[in-house]
Structures are given as structure tokens and as C-alpha cells.
Amino acid sequence: MTRMASRRIQRLGVDPEVTERLRKHGVLTCQHILSKSRMELLRLTALSDIKVKELLLQASKAAMPEHITALDLYERPDKECPVFFPSSLLKLDALLHGGFPTGTISEIAGPPGCGKTQFCIMLSVLATLPRELGGLNGGVVYIDTESAFSAERLVEVARHRFPGHFSREEAFISLTSRVHLYLESTCHSLLTRLEHLEEELISKGIRLIILDSVASLVRKEFDNLLSGNLIERTNLLSKEAAILKYLAETFSIPVVVTNQITTRINQPSSHANMLSVNTGAAIVEGEGSYVTAALGNTWSHNVNTRLILQFLDEHRRQIMIAKSPIAPFATLVYTIQDKGIVLEDDGMDPLLVRGTDPGLQQIRVRTSISHAIPGEMWSHQ
């Protein structure tokens, strides 16, 4: 069965009374319906034989992957579901041809303190804004696995980034009531949350999903040195990615996840021509070792767009477009301020750099900064 077989019965347009009867017997999804015989469904629903056949046909169609052509996608009117979600960072949006693509998974990776959570909080504010202000006019599901979210910071970013819109108390009430926070502390609870998220997307008008972070729990619970753990971890991440992709595609919404970094040892000679330190690409920790996004190549193939955040110097950080189906490899300099992520306006074009394997992009970490970076009190992720 595909992920579409897990579609809830409510989405089939089934009569509420029938839905309630089925729910009482644990029949909640298309897969549950299709696993029952006609006689069982006749008994559970109290419908006629013709109506049961119609119900089975509805469930079968809903469980089948949609057949669609490139022309269908090109001509599809998408006023309610824009193709891109602007980040409000003009140079970044221009490089990404409009912002974070909807219907896909975008990843923000980087070392601690570089601003991953700050980026996510800023995106949460943006998603709740009216469309005329560049927002999605919808709700946000914010899944926090590191207890890093701050409601106070959410309000501060909103107040400083859009002072005109958030000059009224009603605007803050609308913002904070539209951001739905879920604190998940185990891999099991996170997977369960994702598996039951579809109904909430419908009932709460969700237009953005944020998972901060995808790496935190699996790295705590799975020791890769133990036999079988790597396979189990990979299977878990594949399930999470499949659900997130299904939700992104089904509802035409952006999904943004954050990722941690890891050190790789014995760098292959084939990657010796990686980005140079002059482009802010890496700090090599030792001979044959380098820092890169965590979770390996298998996970990276589930990500459609990858942004890497890294330290540039004592005051500035850098966004690197490390993977995108439409954007070039490029870097942009930014700082973290009261209004969130702010790109440097130096009048120069973004630095375009030569790319390599997106799963092996090296990352610059902070190693010798002896004093606080501006905005550090808000840059713990």
C-alpha cells in the first residue's frame, strides 16, 4: 500500500454518520476499508450493497497514485497553492526562483548557533501573513524535538520585521494562535505525530510544516556502531521522509526541516576539489576529515532543496545553496538581528561557487571565536 492508502475516510466525502460507524470499529483509512470484505462493510456501515460498492470504489481511487503529466502541472491553476513560499530574503528568493518550493522537502543544515531555529521562526511568521504581504495566510505545524522554540522570539521577529502589520494586538493574537507547537522527545512519538498529521492540516488550515530538527532524536536513540542500528535508523528516516513528502505533495505546501552536522573521516581523493575556504565552505578538522550535513547520503536524496548555514567570521554567517533542482550553487552573507535573518546589502551579486556532491558539502564551524556574536542570545540553533 502507498502512503495514499493511509488517507483518512473523512477526505473521501463519506457521509458523517457512516464515517462515525466505521470509526467505532477502528476503520479509519482507505487501507482499512480495502482490507474488509463487502459483507463486513455491509454489516459495519448498514449501507446497501450498491452504496458499499461505491465506497470501495472511492477508497480504491483515493489509494491509487494520481496520474499526471507535465502539461497538467504547467497548466494547473494554483492561486490557492502558490508554487513557491518567499523567504522575504530577496536575493535568496531570486536564486531559488521565488523561494522555498511547495510540495517538496527543504532542509536547513548547519552547526549549533548559526541560526537554523531563527530561520524557522521567521518562516513561521511569514506563513501566517496575508498573501498580499508575501505570506501563505495559513497555519503552521512546528514540531520541536530540541525544545528550542521561543514564543517570545516569534513575537519579537514579527514586531520588528513587519512593524506596520503587527501594530495591532489582534495581529499578534492571530499569529500566535496559528502556530501550532508540538514537542516530541522520542523517535516513536515523532513518527506517531507525523502519521496522524493529515487531519490537523485540514482542520487547522495548515500551510507550512516545520520539523526542527530531523536529526536530533535519531542521533540520540541510535548508535551506529551497534549492529543493525544503521539499517533501523535508515528505515525510520525513510518512513518520516515518505510521510512528509506525501503531505507536501497532497496539500501543495512547503515542508522545512533542520539538520545537524557531522564529521566525516578519510575524505576520498575524488572530493579533493571541494569548495575552498575562501568561499566559506569548510573548516577541515584534521587530516582526511571534514564537517558536513548529518544523516548521510540516503537522507540527502529525500531532500529537494538544501541550504547550509555556516559561520563566516566573528559577526557574519553565510547561507549556501548546496542542493536545488533549479538554483545554482551560491552563497549569501547574513546576520541575525531583532527582525530575524538579515542579508548583507553590499551591492554585490551572490557569490556563485562550483558545486559537488550535495550530500558531501563541507561546512564551516565556529572554532576560535572568543567573544559573543551579535544576536547570539537568539542563535542557539
379 vs 114: CA distance, rounded Å: 6
Residue with the larger pLDDT of the pair 117 and 314: 117
What is the pTM (predicted TM-score) of this model?
0.77
- Residue 80 in this model has a pLDDT that exceeds 60: no
Cα 14 from chain centre: 31
93 vs 328: CA distance, rounded Å: 12
pLDDT in tens, 105-128: 999 999 999 999 999 999 999 999
- Residue 173 in this model has a pLDDT that exceeds 90: yes
Could you identify the residue written with the cell 559537488?
356
Lowest mean pLDDT of 29-33, 89-93, 180-184, 251-255, name the range: 29-33
Residue with the larger pLDDT of the pair 341 and 15: 341
Give the pLDDT band (50/70/90) at residue 250. Answer: confident
C-alpha cell at 157: 521577529
Going by C-beta distance under 8 Å and a sequence separation of 6 or more, which residues neighbour residue 143?
A: 182, 184, 190, 193, 194, 209, 210, 211, 212
Give the pLDDT band (50/70/90) at residue 377. Answer: very low
Angle between helices 49-63 and 38-45 (to 10 degrees): 110
Give the pLDDT band (50/70/90) at residue 182. Answer: very high
- Residue 343 in this model has a pLDDT that exceeds 80: yes
Phi/psi of residue 208, nearest 5 degrees: -150, 135
Going by C-beta distance under 8 Å and a sequence separation of 6 or more, which residues neighbour residue 250?
A: 4, 198
- Residue 269 in this model has a pLDDT that exceeds 70: no
- Residue 273 in this model has a pLDDT that exceeds 80: no
Percentages helix, strand, coil for the chain (3-state, rounded to 5) are 40, 20, 40
206 vs 197: CA distance, rounded Å: 10
- Residue 275 in this model has a pLDDT that exceeds 80: no
pLDDT-above-70 percentage for the chain:
78
pLDDT value, residue 362: 58
381 vs 369: CA distance, rounded Å: 17
